[in-house]
Amino acid sequence: MNKEKTYGINKEELYTLNEVAGFLKIQQRQLYNVIKSGSIEAVKVGREWRVSGEALLDFIKTNTSGGIKK
């Protein structure tokens, strides 16, 4: 059984940048910089950017030491 941490994030959902910034506890401007650097994948839907739950979880896994607690 896979006990992968999801931090309350649904892999199949698309999140707004405001929601992602809230999950990561960073300012939206910082999130734009993270996206621009290629550290987290985002897609533009109409005029707004979205981040998949899967991309968000991948970012968390590769950029933390497991110190996040739910």
Please give the C-alpha separations between residue 11 and each of 30, 51, 52, in angstroms, as whole numbers.
22, 10, 7
d(CA 30, CA 24): 10
- Beta bridge partner(s), residue 18: none
Residue type, 54: E
Output the tens digit of pLDDT for each of the chain's 70 residues. 556 778 889 999 999 999 999 999 999 999 999 999 999 999 999 999 999 999 999 999 998 775 555 5
The confidence score (pLDDT) of residue 7 equals 84
Per-residue model confidence (pLDDT) at position 3:
63
On the 0-12 / 13-18 / 19+ scale of CB atoms within 10 A, 52 is buried
- Whole-structure pTM value: 0.82
